[in-house]
Structure 1
């Protein structure tokens, strides 16, 4: 554990949390916010009493300080996990340094960032090269890819010389394929004991810094691998704050999802061949795996895309062949040799990955969902397997072992915390701040929940418009009525519109129509350029529209006159053919619940709340959220969804909304 902290001199009638928070807010030029104070004290209490906490802190509350201050005051190490790189950057580059400067030397303010190994450049790979499909990567490929590799190599060497972190996020612009030429995953890594460059290794230095830090900032995926998958990635800790907690179930599911392609199997066989060629009978193991790849290719060609509820004999047999051949291949490598042979380590790592994934798929447990993603341009067909549920794993391996604070702007769904709590592994009967807690059982996990509200006056600042007069959305995308509505609303707003669409096709269709009918406005669509460039253009010209899909629903922060109209084309229910969501819904029905409400409506409520939250980002912002899906007003589940949104003034009258947009645009 990290070292203890210096005692803060108390101020009469002020707790240490209030005193440090007040000092930090004053030093940063801010004002005390009652919701932030309430949150900070609740987080401190949760840490002290070792009870879990779910806290909803609306946009503008300053929730980062609300958990960072009690984290620094906590006597033991605290891990902060985020879902997005944007928030991680905000914490590490802005919030934590400013807080550290504000509190001075009164506390242990040491902190570190920790990411998965593949997020750091590998100096061994850069300097020595390892075999890939084209041979040893010492001679750099020609063309643009070669130029990118050279740029990354030069950057990594400069990072090593100057004591940099070697993190991918700080690297020159590059593609995923190019980054793989200068990085390794944890299976491919030689290990500090055998690597000639271990003393300089960026990943090892990050681990060392984390081990001596009071606060560790990481991501949901690494937390899931460490706590839930049981692979030690983070130094010992007892408390974790999970920001953007509405994303946790999705990120844990992703971390526990495995994929297998024919190319994966072929690559493992090919790269292993030279390393076992001189081992007599064992040299046939690579050939056997190559043959198994052919059998898998035939089986996938005969399998329909989508969820696989019962694996046919051909697919089952192919997976068993791959599993057994990969196991034999791993055995053929024998024990690790003392020399630092990166090619051998990588080849064995690939074989181990193929074996582990094929073994899981061949077992086909009821607790897993198996499906086939069909091939698309340059993307091969992929078998995927994911856990049906993750709440039990989170309860057993995270909540039972650690004290957890879940924080987000959107955690109350349908007006309460029960849906989110259940998905995280907490039972409503264990909640101790409602008087209904049944927490006497040995395996009970007491928890509290808190909504600290928001400093925004949503009923004055925003209008929620539901286009009740439009037809229900169909499978064929946007119809004429929806296009006409979009054009009329944007015309009234004079641009200033963020369009959040359920599909790329819908976003492109809307963009094309608006460009044609409102040519005096600039209309951008996701894919026209990189997202940072699009966001910059959107902010610089108020008469600009930006249309896109999921990335914009959650990852865009554009306060001020830039965004005065948020358009949402339809309620973001999961696709009916989504294999994992449909399996979870069916399981809920089978257990006596309501699969639609527990899975589809909950999923939609979270995304809808995130999308609506793009509009009001400061106390001065004003505008309209227009939802072009009448089901929000006409269906019974509409009440649940609306109760999950900020309390804006609501209307279904299009003329009222157009007039309001005109007034807001004129005032801006």
Structure 2
């Protein structure tokens, strides 16, 4: 009995010492972070014209507390807070294993190539760091070699691009295709030489030791600080959950920057997607195997050819019916019959290909892919999950079938384990001065929640105008004419230097056609070139007008006099016909909640904040925001939008806004 008591005492003493040690470490980290942001600290000594910002300091201390006291944190940091250094410095100084996840490749690269090296030098610390992207961002030497072997069959342009890629391949150290500058970023040739799961032969590959994708994964596993993007992070968590080898090390701390994107990424990874493009590719691979390897197996060719025809007819039928909800498809007898007929034929083809396993390495790989497609289609066609939305989405000449959960909170609670500190930050998380919507969506109700406003002088730097006498939303012709009139006046007053952000491609095209006849400033229209090309052109011109939809509402940083005006056509509410929204709305009603206030309104507020955030990017910026939707001022819910936006000066008089624009040099 005495030894047992002694053991308990020893255990208690050990625990007490451990608690004391934790307090000491916590105190040490707080002191180091406090010093770093002080007027005498490393930032002041190393950053030209550094000025302490209270909001940045407050955020750094909040992140420090989350790391040292081991709690989760949701923090909105308005534009200009300087959130990158506010979370990077505590993460680096903590000495812990940290994963930083971003929503875009641009921010991912800025963190790894600019911000991290600067801070490592500044604080004289040298943890191993790694940048890891999805495998499609890396050159596959084997695919390049196979393409070069068939170069005589290719067009002169493709030959030229392959030669340039091959020259680059001999010099690159990491194989990151983003560093390839001699070939256009959207060239179709690039997709034929990057790494894919389907083309990877693993240890059988002659380039296994030199494989760029593999080396990047090994480096990430060995690093103390790893920079990834949200899609890759959740793909890794999915691999862990299914028992496969993970890509990333176990982390003490995970920081999600651009965290407003996380819920949509979670929906994507907790759901399933079936692309008919993949079915088409598998069928063509089987036909190719028949023609090049298994000429004695004509049934492979006949079944695959027949299925290509059925697949095409089925997709055309879906397109003609203009269905977006699979539940509507299965209520249509003809479409339902065609769908099950397609699945039955694919099942027959799977049985036939299985009989030839072992005769062709290519066919063996295809059998696994076809088996997965058949299983996924079976699950999708049965449509048994009442807590999921089953959507049909056109994708060029192909179709995407998507199963999306309508509530991800439970899955997220399991995903965000207690052994890790989870930190979520973005400039756009709060709705009506609360972070509850974001926290509830991810099942993070117990996380500490903080809102830090932008340090910019919005009342003097920005003017928010909702012009009087706008037509009611939905009166299309009147809406278009008024929008064009407002845009024309604002563009002329701003001497170009304008973003026009739309909620639909249709409205964008209508306005673009009319503006081409009314303004003399260069118009840069989404779809004419890549997003990055349009932005570069906008910066080079100095008087451009850029027209874009959702992809231009966020992740764009144009500072100074280059951008003086942002015009938004209307409040960005999700379409009531959206399949996922309808499923979520039905679920909300079953729980006696109002779908509009609990789902539609919060999403629209966050989206609008993203668009508004394009205007003021620096403490010296000045500009005008014009919203051509009077619902924000004459509907009760408009207050939620206004309370969530920066405190800009406001006017209903367009002439006042035009005078403000003309005053900007």
Shorter-chain TM-score bucket reads 0.7 to 0.9
How do 1:216-227 and structure 2 match up within 5 A? 216-227=226-237
Give the whole-Å Cα distance in 1 for the aligned partners of 2:112 and 2:261. Answer: 20
Structure 2 spans left out of the alignment, 5+ residues = 1-23
Matched, 1:150 2:134: no
The DSSP-based 3-state class of the residue aligned with 2:192 is helix
Deviation at 1:301, TM superposition (A): 4.2
How do 1:286-435 and structure 2 match up within 5 A? 291=306, 294-303=309-318, 304=321, 305-309=323-327, 311-312=330-331, 313-315=336-338, 317-318=340-341, 320-321=343-344, 324-325=347-348, 328=351, 331-332=354-355, 334=357, 343-344=362-363, 347-348=366-367, 350-364=369-383, 365-374=385-394, 376=396, 379-399=397-417, 402-427=420-445, 430=446
**Partner in structure 2 of residue 35 of structure 1:** 55
How do 1:25-104 and structure 2 match up within 5 A? 25-29=44-48, 30-104=50-124
The DSSP-based 3-state class of the residue aligned with 1:413 is coil
The DSSP-based 3-state class of the residue aligned with 1:68 is helix
**Partner in structure 1 of residue 206 of structure 2:** 196
Deviation at 1:258, TM superposition (A): 4.5
Structure 1 residues 102, 541: closer, same or farther in 2, change over 3 A?
A: same
More helix, by proportion:
2
**Partner in structure 2 of residue 496 of structure 1:** 497
Matched, 1:487 2:488: yes
How do 1:100-249 and structure 2 match up within 5 A? 100-104=120-124, 107-128=125-146, 137=150, 139=152, 141-159=154-172, 163-168=173-178, 170=180, 172-175=183-186, 177-191=188-202, 193-228=203-238, 230=241, 232-249=246-263
**Partner in structure 1 of residue 635 of structure 2:** 635
TM-score, with normalisation over the residues of structure 1? 0.85
Cα deviation digits, residues 246-304 of structure 1 (max 9, x gap)? 11122233445544455532431342367699999999577656655555545444443
Matched, 1:645 2:663: no
Give the whole-Å Cα distance in 1 for the aligned partners of 2:289 and 2:543. Answer: 61
Q: Greater CA deviation, 228-237 or 25-34? A: 228-237
Give the whole-Å Cα distance in 2 for the aligned partners of 1:396 and 1:14. Answer: 30
Deviation at 1:371, TM superposition (A): 2.5
- The answer (yes or no) to whether the contact 1:493–1:662 under 8 Å persists in 2 is yes
Deviation at 1:120, TM superposition (A): 0.8
RMSD: 3.2
Structure 1 residues 254, 215: closer, same or farther in 2, change over 3 A?
A: same
Structure 1 residues 457, 408: closer, same or farther in 2, change over 3 A?
A: same
Deviation at 1:486, TM superposition (A): 1.9
Matched, 1:455 2:469: no
- The answer (yes or no) to whether the contact 2:30–2:61 under 8 Å persists in 1 is no
Q: Greater CA deviation, 142-151 or 607-616? A: 142-151
Deviation at 1:560, TM superposition (A): 0.8
- The answer (yes or no) to whether the contact 2:30–2:64 under 8 Å persists in 1 is no
Q: Greater CA deviation, 278-287 or 490-499? A: 278-287
Structure 1 residues 177, 523: closer, same or farther in 2, change over 3 A?
A: closer
The DSSP-based 3-state class of the residue aligned with 2:75 is strand
Give the whole-Å Cα distance in 2 for the aligned partners of 1:26 and 1:535. Answer: 34
The DSSP-based 3-state class of the residue aligned with 1:608 is helix
Structure 1 residues 375, 394: closer, same or farther in 2, change over 3 A?
A: closer
Structure 1 spans left out of the alignment, 5+ residues = 1-7, 131-135, 431-446
Structure 1 residues 90, 496: closer, same or farther in 2, change over 3 A?
A: same
- The answer (yes or no) to whether the contact 1:262–1:297 under 8 Å persists in 2 is no
Deviation at 1:539, TM superposition (A): 2.6
Structure 1 residues 167, 301: closer, same or farther in 2, change over 3 A?
A: closer
The DSSP-based 3-state class of the residue aligned with 2:398 is coil
Deviation at 1:620, TM superposition (A): 0.9
Give the whole-Å Cα distance in 1 for the aligned partners of 2:29 and 2:411. Answer: 42
Give the whole-Å Cα distance in 2 for the aligned partners of 1:451 and 1:362. Answer: 44
The DSSP-based 3-state class of the residue aligned with 1:572 is coil
- The answer (yes or no) to whether the contact 1:326–1:354 under 8 Å persists in 2 is no
Structure 1 residues 144, 13: closer, same or farther in 2, change over 3 A?
A: closer
Cα deviation digits, residues 523-565 of structure 1 (max 9, x gap)? 3322333333332332344433222222221132111111111
Matched, 1:518 2:519: yes
TM-score, with normalisation over the residues of structure 2? 0.85
- The answer (yes or no) to whether the contact 1:330–1:351 under 8 Å persists in 2 is no
Deviation at 1:140, TM superposition (A): 5.4
Deviation at 1:515, TM superposition (A): 3.9
- The answer (yes or no) to whether the contact 2:151–2:159 under 8 Å persists in 1 is no
The DSSP-based 3-state class of the residue aligned with 2:210 is coil
Give the whole-Å Cα distance in 2 for the aligned partners of 1:298 and 1:143. Answer: 34
Matched, 1:599 2:599: yes
The DSSP-based 3-state class of the residue aligned with 2:416 is helix
Structure 1 residues 508, 279: closer, same or farther in 2, change over 3 A?
A: closer
Give the whole-Å Cα distance in 2 for the aligned partners of 1:67 and 1:614. Answer: 22
- The answer (yes or no) to whether the contact 1:289–1:322 under 8 Å persists in 2 is no
